[in-house]
Amino acid sequence: MPAITPITSDELHRQILRRGTRAVVDFYQASCAPCRALEPRLERIAGRYLGRVAAYRVDLDNDPDAAQRFDVLSLPTVLAIVDGQETARLDGLITDPQLQQLFDQLAPEARR
């Protein structure tokens, strides 16, 4: 089972507004080399937090309005969302330690 769920911005908007939701959202495009490089690393780290932190991917090629809706200015962009509010943002060349820290902040009791 994949650790990251593909989702549209409309579905995501409904999902992240629920109270108690802790989520990481990856905004990407297939033509973006850094986005493709991030995918397997994000999948691996997200897999460590299954059931604790929801992980989603939004394809901006198929959902171009998502960039404006979530103020995505560069790719890839990864958001941390708690109870419908953005709590952290990573963009550009994202490292594994940055991703790990992001997930740890969302689920400190679930560390590796």
Which one is catalytic: 3, 32, 107, 110? 32
Amino acid at 94: I
Our answer to whether residue 105 is catalytic in this structure is: no
Contacts by 30-33, CB closer than 8 A, 24 or more apart:
30/59, 30/61, 31/61, 32/75, 32/76
Our answer to whether residue 5 is catalytic in this structure is: no
Which one is catalytic: 35, 38, 66, 106? 35
- What is the C-alpha separation between 87 and 78, in angstroms, rounded? 11
Q: Which segments of 17-51 does DSSP mark as H helices, in order?
A: 33-47
Residues annotated as part of the active site: 32, 35
